[in-house]
Amino acid sequence: MFNRLYIHIPFCVEKCGYCAFVSARARPGEIESYHELLLQEMRLAAADHEQGAPLDSIYFGGGTPSLLHPLQVSRIIDLAAELFSLSPGVEITLEANPGTIDRERLRNFREAGVNRLSLGVQSFDDDMLRRLGRVHDAAQARHAFRDARLAGFGNIGIDLIHGLPGQTLSGWREELRQALSLSPEHISVYGLTVEEGTPFALRYPEESPEIPDDDRSAEMFETADTVLVEAGFEHYEIANYARAGYRSRHNSGYWRRDGYLGLGVAAHSFLREGYGFRFSNHDTLEEYSRELVSGRLPRRDEHLLTLEDAMAEFMFLGLRMVEGISCKSFEQEFGSRLNDIYGSTIDELIRIGLLQQERGNLRLTRRGLLLSNQVFARFLP
């Protein structure tokens, strides 16, 4: 069962130097044929899986979903409405690259039903944007934001990256200032990770002096927290800040383990069946289309969760949220007390200052937010 829908668009104008996502430049006609495959996958998946509650969110992620024609987005949303029931206030997010949109396209996306825009700005520094290999400059990002407002978007998020090559603390403060000057509803701040196999990994080998070290990255994380909270944003997940009422419902669902159906190349799904059922699609366009053309769902692998897996996920996904997890919810979901299962691990993490427990909730401390991967590793089955 699921109440969220994710659509993966694996195309980009150019590949950014730091990117390890499944995405590539589209060949002529490829986006249109991919769009048809998505519609077909949605029909097959709707016949194969029970929905559960009405869809509370639809999320177009990528890649660069704003490369889709607004009519293609409209057809996907319309088919979702036909095959699944939608909740009256369904949140429909489109990730957009500022180099791919103008006011007219934005207005058409809005008319297609998209009501939340996630703008991949990453930086307001032109030199940095060139180094990252982005296809837009800072002025285009600012224009895209203003055009989105004029096109009727009342819920816009901005993504920024810190820990960029050569970035200083004052440079990072300036990035935050520029983002706030646009008055977005949501800001995500991700730390750069240099992923193996990317051009960045060759250009910036481990411990490259150009990449801010752990202490400097921690300072940038702390700075973001101070600046954004002072500006009235709520820090609700490790990397995410929102104005009141504007948390991403779709992403919050991932951390609460809501069921979601993922469509498209390399998309992942999680259905609330038994302790949970996770599966993913083929990660090449060739295999993905071959399966669908043969009338089969393009599934690559499946994993039926055990009780132990489900409890671990509850911990390491739920702890991503700043409010943490409720001990009572754990007990309601699994019929066991949290301390009976993880008591010694929790005690140890509290003792070393990474977790804190208060009023029936367990959450990361400020230090724990910085070292979250160390905490999550302790709950892996």
Indicate the residue among 18 and 236 with the shorter CB distance to ligand SF4. Answer: 18
Indicate the residue among 122 and 289 with the shorter CB distance to ligand SF4. Answer: 122
Taking the complex as a whole, the smallest distance from the CB of residue 352 to ligand SF4 amounts, in Å, to 35
- Within the chain, residue ranges assigned H as helices are 30-48, 70-83, 103-112, 126-132, 138-150, 169-181, 199-203, 214-230, 249-255, 285-293, 307-318, 327-334, 338-351, 366-370, 372-377
Residue from 3, 40, 64, 281 binding ligand SF4 (CB under 6 A):
64
Residue from 5, 6, 7, 63 binding ligand SF4 (CB under 6 A):
63
Mark residues 95-134: x for contact with ligand SF4 by CB under 6 A, - for none: --x----------------------x--------------
Taking the complex as a whole, the smallest distance from the CB of residue 268 to ligand SF4 amounts, in Å, to 16
Neighbours of 225 (CB within 10 A): 17
DSSP state letter for 98: G
Contacts of 363 (CB under 8 A, 6+ apart): 319, 321, 322, 323, 324, 325, 355, 356, 357
Indicate the residue among 12 and 224 with the shorter CB distance to ligand SF4. Answer: 12
Stretch that binds ligand SF4, among 19-27, 139-147, 154-162, 343-351 (CB under 6 A): 19-27
Which token pair is 373?
A: 């991967």
Stretch that binds ligand SF4, among 8-16, 31-39, 157-165, 201-209 (CB under 6 A): 8-16
Instruction: Decide if residue 30 touches ligand SF4 (CB under 6 A).
Output: no
Stretch that binds ligand SF4, among 16-24, 136-144, 275-283, 341-349 (CB under 6 A): 16-24
In DSSP notation, 289-332 reads HHHHHTTS--EEEEEEPPHHHHHHHHHHHHTTBTT-EEHHHHHH
Residue from 15, 69, 149, 299 binding ligand SF4 (CB under 6 A):
15
Instruction: Decide if residue 12 touches ligand SF4 (CB under 6 A).
Output: yes
Q: How far apart are CA 121 and CA 318, in angstroms?
A: 27
Strand partners, 261: 5
Residue from 5, 16, 45, 179 binding ligand SF4 (CB under 6 A):
16
Residue from 4, 8, 62, 144 binding ligand SF4 (CB under 6 A):
62
Indicate the residue among 12 and 73 with the shorter CB distance to ligand SF4. Answer: 12
CA-angle at 220, arms to 214 and 221, nearest 5° = 90
Q: How far apart are CA 364 and CA 366, in angstroms?
A: 7
Query: Pseudo-torsion of CA 357, 360, 362, 367, nearest 10°?
Result: -40
Residue from 4, 5, 6, 23 binding ligand SF4 (CB under 6 A):
23
Taking the complex as a whole, the smallest distance from the CB of residue 14 to ligand SF4 amounts, in Å, to 7
Taking the complex as a whole, the smallest distance from the CB of residue 201 to ligand SF4 amounts, in Å, to 14
Taking the complex as a whole, the smallest distance from the CB of residue 142 to ligand SF4 amounts, in Å, to 18
Q: Give the CA distances from residue 357 to residues 62, 91, 135, in Å, rounded to whole numbers and listed in that order.
A: 37, 32, 45
Indicate the residue among 152 and 199 with the shorter CB distance to ligand SF4. Answer: 199
Instruction: Decide if residue 19 touches ligand SF4 (CB under 6 A).
Output: yes
3-class DSSP state of 43: helix
Q: What share of the chain is helix, strand, coil (3-state, %, to 5)?
A: 45, 25, 35
Q: How far apart are CA 339 and CA 171, in angstroms?
A: 44
Binding site for ligand SF4 (CB under 6 A): 12, 15-16, 19, 21, 23, 62-64, 97, 120
